[in-house]
């Protein structure tokens, strides 16, 4: 506060009050357990939920020093903020250049699953009716994400659903650094005409055990991430700040006219699958 506000004589207590007044109401800042303040998307913090203490490491970490939580969710639809819910989640932790562990859970969405979603994912109401709802696994999901960079193929989608579920269950949204492997593929693999998971895995010769299921897609994405990080490092992109500058900020896709039409005319539910 002395440096920013150019106040020569400033007590610690006054500085604390000024910091709270300036930073406390802004979503992009988080206060750590040691009293220090940091940007929420600082990769030194790792992902987590709002208010959870996280540990600061070196100023600009090497990509090789970072760990990642690669996430894939299957859902009842595309609208995380309204009626759609997660039906399956997988978190694959990538540590020291390899896959450390895989966590996968079916989730009871507490609403019906449209027939076209079941056709795509093969997840039916019978499969999830006895599974825990998200509020029963929220803490273990948050623990799996804590301290790692959140990564996913089209990360805006997966981040949005996990964050909304945590908000509904615990009143705290997901926060921290994130990496979209679609955006990473655009700069790492410019020779590809498309950067879908099918195209990227085919390019690297990576087998997907079960497409459109959370574990199969998350494990495949983790392998793609490792390969693309090696491509980046071969091009002398070795730090998080260098990679972030290359990829650019991650923003949600703009809603198209076709999206609005689909939401205006939803697929009908022909029977009560929850009763």
Query: Is residue 99, in this structure, part of any structural domain at all?
Result: yes
Query: Is residue 3, in this structure, part of any structural domain at all?
Result: no
Q: What is the pLDDT of residue 16?
A: 74
User: pLDDT under 70 in the chain at which residues?
Assistant: 24-25, 27, 30-36, 40-59, 250-275
Query: Is residue 112, in this structure, part of any structural domain at all?
Result: yes
Alpha helix positions (H), the chain: 2-5, 12-23, 115-121, 125-128, 134-145, 155-170, 181-188, 197-204, 214-234, 240-247, 257-264
Query: Is residue 121, in this structure, part of any structural domain at all?
Result: yes
Q: What is the pLDDT of residue 14?
A: 75
**What is the CATH number for 171?**
3.30.420.10
Residue 253: closest CA among 181, 153, 156 = 156
What is the pTM (predicted TM-score) of this model?
0.74
The DSSP code sequence of 16-47 is HHHHHHHHTT-TTEEE-TTS-EEETT-TTT-B
Domain count of the fold of the chain? 1
Query: Is residue 125, in this structure, part of any structural domain at all?
Result: yes
Q: What is the pLDDT of residue 9?
A: 74
CA distances from 126 to 75, 144, 273 (A): 15, 27, 9
* Residues with Cβ within 8 Å of residue 178, at least 6 apart in sequence: 41, 47, 149, 150, 151, 152, 155, 159, 250
In 3-state terms, what secondary structure has residue 86? strand
Query: Is residue 93, in this structure, part of any structural domain at all?
Result: yes
Q: Answer yes or no: are the C-beta atoms of 92 and 99 closer than 8 Å.
A: yes
Q: Roughly how many angstroms between the first and final C-alpha of the chain, as a whole number?
A: 58
Residue 135: closest CA among 103, 168, 162, 113 = 168
Q: What is the pLDDT of residue 264?
A: 47
Using CA atoms, how far apart are residues 233 and 216, in angstroms rounded to an integer? 26
Q: Which domain holds residue 212?
A: 63-250
Residue 178: closest CA among 153, 144, 211, 214 = 153
Query: Is residue 183, in this structure, part of any structural domain at all?
Result: yes
Q: What is the pLDDT of residue 176?
A: 86
In 3-state terms, what secondary structure has residue 124? coil
Query: Is residue 228, in this structure, part of any structural domain at all?
Result: yes
């Amino acid at each position: 506060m002395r440096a920013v506000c150019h106040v020569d004589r400033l007590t610690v207590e006054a500085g604390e009050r000024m910091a709270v007044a300036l930073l406390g109401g802004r979503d992009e800042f988080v206060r750590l357990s040691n009293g220090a303040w940091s940007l929420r998307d600082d990769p030194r913090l790792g992902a987590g939920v709002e208010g959870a203490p996280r540990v600061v490491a070196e100023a600009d970490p090497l990509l090789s020093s970072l760990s990642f939580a690669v996430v894939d969710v299957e859902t009842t639809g595309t609208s995380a903020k309204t009626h759609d819910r997660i039906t399956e989640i997988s978190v694959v932790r990538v540590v020291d250049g390899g896959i450390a562990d895989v966590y996968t859970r079916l989730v009871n969405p507490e609403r019906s699953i449209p027939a076209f979603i079941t056709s795509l994912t093969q997840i039916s109401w019978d499969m999830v009716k006895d599974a825990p709802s998200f509020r029963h696994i929220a803490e273990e999901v948050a623990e799996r994400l804590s301290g790692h960079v959140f990564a996913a193929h089209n990360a805006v989608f997966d981040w949005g659903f996990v964050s909304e579920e945590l908000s509904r269950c615990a009143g705290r949204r997901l926060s921290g650094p994130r990496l979209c492997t679609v955006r990473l593929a655009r700069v790492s693999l410019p020779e590809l005409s498309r950067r879908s998971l099918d195209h990227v895995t085919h390019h690297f010769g990576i087998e997907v055990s079960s497409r459109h299921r959370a574990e199969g897609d998350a494990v495949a994405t983790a392998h793609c991430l490792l390969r693309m990080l090696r491509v980046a490092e071969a091009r002398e992109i070795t730090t998080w700040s260098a990679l972030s500058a290359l990829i650019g900020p991650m923003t949600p896709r703009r809603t198209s006219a076709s999206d609005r039409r689909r939401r205006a005319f939803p697929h009908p539910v022909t029977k009560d699958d929850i009763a």
